[in-house]
Amino acid sequence: MENGREFNIVEGLKKLKKAVRKFRTPSVTVIAKKNDPFAVLVSCIISLRTRDEVTELASARLFTLAKLPAELLELSNAKIEKAIYPAAFYRNKTKSLKELCQVLVKEYSGKVPDKLEELLKLKGVGRKTANLTLILGHNKPGICVDIHVHRISNRWGYVKTKSPDETEMVLREILPKRFWKGYNDLLVSFGQNLCKPVSPFCSSCPVEDQCPKIGVNRSR
C-alpha cells in the first residue's frame, strides 16, 4: 500500500475533531492562545519528557517572571530552576533556555524567527518544536510530528514510515494543506486518550470502521 491511498483522511479528521472536544487541550496549545512565539518555544522546551499538566504550570510560573528573552537572561539559574521544577531535566533545561535567549537577543533582536530554517538553527530546537512554534506562535503553516502523530498516521496506514521526521516529509506531500496546522493537536488529544500505544480503545474510536489497526495486537 502506498502512502495515503486507503485511509479517508478528510472523513477521519472530521470525525476526530468532534470526538476530541471532550478531552484536555494539550498544554502548549493552551499556552499558545496568547499568540506569543516565545511562550510557545519556551513551553516546548520545558515539555520534553514532562507531563502536560506539569508543563502548563511550570511555564506559567516562568512567564510571571519573564516574558521576553532579555528578561529571562536577567534571572538567575536558581530562580528559573525553581520556577520550572518538577519538569524533567529542569537544570539542563534552564541552561538550554539561557543559551537560547542569548542567541535570540544577540542574533534576532530578541524576536523568535518565523522561518523553519532559522528556527532549526537554534540549539535544542528540532523539527517538532520548530513546526509547533511556526503553527501556534506565528500562525504559519507547518506539520508538527510527535510520537502520537507518527504512531497514529502509521496505524491508520495513511503513511508507512519509520521515524517522525520521515512522517513529516511524507505528510507534506499527501496531507491537504488545510489540515496542516490542526493535525498535531487532533492526533495528540486522540493519542493520549483513545489511540494509546498499547491496547488502544478501539471500541470507543470514532474512526474504528475505517482503521486497519496496523500494528495493533490487543485493543479494548
pLDDT, one tens digit per residue, over 72-105 is: 999 999 999 999 999 999 999 999 999 999 999 9
What's the sign of the alpha-carbon dihedral 151, 156, 158, 160?
positive
Among positive and negative, which fits the CA dihedral 158, 185, 13, 201? positive
Q: If phi over 0 gives left and psi between -120 and 50 gives alpha, with beta otherwise, what is residue 124? A: left
The answer as to CATH 3.40.50.11260 being correct for domain 9-24+143-210 is no
- pLDDT average, residue stretch 171-186: 95
Tell me the pLDDT band of 213, cut-offs 50, 70 and 90: very high
DSSP 112: P
pLDDT at 27 over 80: no
Question: Quick one: 191 exposed, middle or buried, by C-beta within 10 A (0-12, 13-18, 19+)?
Answer: buried
List the grid coordinates of 98: 539561557
> pTM for the full model?
0.86
Q: What is the pLDDT of residue 73?
A: 98
Helix (H) or strand (E) holding 92: helix 90-108
Contacts of residue 209, Cβ cutoff 8 Å, sequence gap at least 6: none
| 157 class by beta-carbon count within 10 Å (0-12 exposed, 13-18 middle, 19+ buried) | buried
- Superfamily of domain 36-138 in CATH is Hypothetical protein; domain 2 (1.10.340.30)
Residue ranges per structural domain of the chain: 9-24+143-210, 36-138
Looking at residue 123, its pLDDT comes to 86
